[in-house]
């Protein structure tokens, strides 16, 4: 089997690429924006430039059986674009469609699109999200991921190429970027945090588990033309997450029992209501379909994986 991984030098992409390289039954190549700064990989990386409607994927797709599309414009803290939605759409929608169109022309058998649980929303109240939940994207990133999903489904209908869509929640590891990296730094600092009273529940997925599931979807016949919400299978509160990270770092967690409603008032007052939502509200998903349909089970459990992320972060910080 020949597999192309886009975004092969990214957080998830590099882990998928490395795992497939270790598989003797798979020939893996990667697509990156530029070869500058990438280590030598014996010609296994293809530089495709900026991703959009005009990207030329022909060389990268030669003889490929499966595409794992991870390259995307993700969350941007200090966005300099005047039209942020258009910038997201150019890469996340137009780029994905151009890649899929080229993949169909070149006879690719399966296209695996890594989307986001944000397509469903950013908060759950009474029940977890599942594959049958109505989409309700809450931000430009999630909105364009949903638009890409719909465009890819339309494109693949009637073609010979199978489509698999995966919507993960927060993906974590010791070297994770973004919000999880900021949490690791916060815990490592030893600063008291006002989250001791939180009883929210959040679904997460360890990098090892997500990589294993993606690779399962490259081979399993039952994954064809399916949507999957994927997680570690056990949810944790933000307070428990911080305690487990601190445990792995060999530190004592200092969590002050500040009520969540008061945190919401304070966050709103300083214009950080979105951070309160991410840290204090619940976001749960039901990932039972992956187990029932594919027989997949997580390689690591959430509590062990969070503690391990803390331990490894402390070793490298």
Distance of alpha carbon 57 from alpha carbon 84, whole angstroms = 25
- The whole-angstrom separation of Cα 26 and Cα 189 is 42
Containing H/E element for 244? helix 238-249
Q: Measure the CA–CA gap between 121 and 227, rounded to whole angstroms.
A: 16
Give the residue among 236, 247, 235 at the shortest CA–CA distance from 308.
Answer: 247
* Exposed/middle/buried for residue 30 (C-beta within 10 Å: 0-12, 13-18, 19+): buried
Scanning 157-227, the segments in alpha helix (DSSP H) are 178-189, 207-219
d(CA 287, CA 303): 17
**29, HSE (Cβ side, Cα atoms, 13 Å):** 21
Q: Which residues contact 29 (CB under 8 A, 6 or more apart)?
A: 2, 3, 4, 5, 44, 45, 46, 60, 64
Q: Would you please indicate which residues are annotated as catalytic (active-site) residues?
A: 141
């Amino acid at each position: 089997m020949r597999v192309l991984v886009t975004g092969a030098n990214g957080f998830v992409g590099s882990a998928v690429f490395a795992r497939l390289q270790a598989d003797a039954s798979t020939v893996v190549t990667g697509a990156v924006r530029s070869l500058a700064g990438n280590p030598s990989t014996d010609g296994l990386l293809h530089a495709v430039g900026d991703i959009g409607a005009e990207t030329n994927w022909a060389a990268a797709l030669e003889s490929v059986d499966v595409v794992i599309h991870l390259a995307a414009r993700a969350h941007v803290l200090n966005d300099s674009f005047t039209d942020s939605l258009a910038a997201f759409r150019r890469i996340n929608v137009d780029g994905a469609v151009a890649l899929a169109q080229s993949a169909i022309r070149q006879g690719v058998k399966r296209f695996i699109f890594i989307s986001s649980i944000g397509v469903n929303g950013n908060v759950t109240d009474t029940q977890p999200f599942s594959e049958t939940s109505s989409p309700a994207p809450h931000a430009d990133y999630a909105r364009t991921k949903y638009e890409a999903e719909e465009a890819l489904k339309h494109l693949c209908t009637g073609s010979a190429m199978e489509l698999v869509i995966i919507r993960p929640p927060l993906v974590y590891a010791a070297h994770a970027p973004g919000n999880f990296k900021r949490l690791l730094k916060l815990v490592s600092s030893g600063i008291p945090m006002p989250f001791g009273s939180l009883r929210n529940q959040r679904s997460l997925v360890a990098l090892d588990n997500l990589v294993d599931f993606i690779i399962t979807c490259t081979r399993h016949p039952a994954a064809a033309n399916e949507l999957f919400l994927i997680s570690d299978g056990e949810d944790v509160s933000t307070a428990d997450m911080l305690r487990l990270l601190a445990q792995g770092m060999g530190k004592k967690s200092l969590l002050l029992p500040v009520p969540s409603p008061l945190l919401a008032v304070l966050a709103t007052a300083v214009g950080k209501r979105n951070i309160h939502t991410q840290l204090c509200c619940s976001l749960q998903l039901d990932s039972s379909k992956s187990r029932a349909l594919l027989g997949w089970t997580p390689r690591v459990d959430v509590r062990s994986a969070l503690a391990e992320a803390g331990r490894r972060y402390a070793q490298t910080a």
